[in-house]
A = this chain, B = another copy of it.
Amino acid sequence: MTQEKTRANTEAVHALLRADVLGGVHQPGERLKFASLCERYGASVSVIREALTRLVEQGLVESEPKIGFKVRSVSIDDLRDLTATRIDIETIALAYAIERGGVDWEADMVGAHHKLERTPMLTTDGPPRISDEWEDAHGRFHIALLDGCGSPRLLDIACSLRDAAEFYRRWSQTRDTGRDVACEHREILEATLARDSETAVERLRQHYQRTAEILETALTA
């Protein structure tokens, strides 16, 4: 009786399906058939279809009319393009934030960073993998960094690119080869608070570049 929700509205199914795609429950390239999805999410064709349609528009799922839907497939080329684009966009946003951000922005940023530092990165039960809580805190920190930029449109783009990146991230689970991610975050925050745009941007760039390199080796292996 724990999950007896009589309301299976689209919003919820969309969130669920999205989480499953992002989390790798459905593999990239995998076909998403209505029959099995309806069963899995306990919803009707209509609501599954709406959820899929939205995911297509968000770039997480692909659709061929009359043929069906499938999870978007991954490639090295796309990963490189994504990384480069992400760096370009976030670089601009961070610079704006440093230029325009007020004290509220600073406060949120510091808060998000604090939470990130206090959240254990790896799970302790079972084989060590990056915990969902950490992923969440990590995302929030990076968004908090940009949040002072004052441009809803730019922020929105950054978020959607972050989602796309999440898609790749699960491959690199625990492959952090002697990398001090926490330190990188601390240094980015430090330069940002000091309003040192040059340094902050450069550190952010390296942060993403390193992640991408790890992902790339994981993807080729």
* Partner among B53, B84, B153 whose Cβ is within 8 Å of the Cβ of A161: B153
- Give the copy number: 2
* Partner among B56, B153, B164 whose Cβ is within 8 Å of the Cβ of A85: B153
Q: How far is the CA of A56 from the CA of B54 in the complex (A)?
A: 9
Enumerate chain B residues within 8 angstroms of A89, measured Cβ to Cβ: 89, 157
Q: How far is the CA of A151 from the CA of B57 in the complex (A)?
A: 19
Report, as a range, how many residues of chain A touch the other chain: 20 to 34
Least distance between A88 CB and chain B CB atoms (Å): 5
* Partner among B82, B85, B152 whose Cβ is within 8 Å of the Cβ of A81: B152
Q: Which residues of A contact B (CB under 8 A)?
A: 9, 11, 46, 49-50, 53-54, 56-58, 65, 78, 81-82, 84-85, 88-89, 92, 151-154, 157, 161, 164
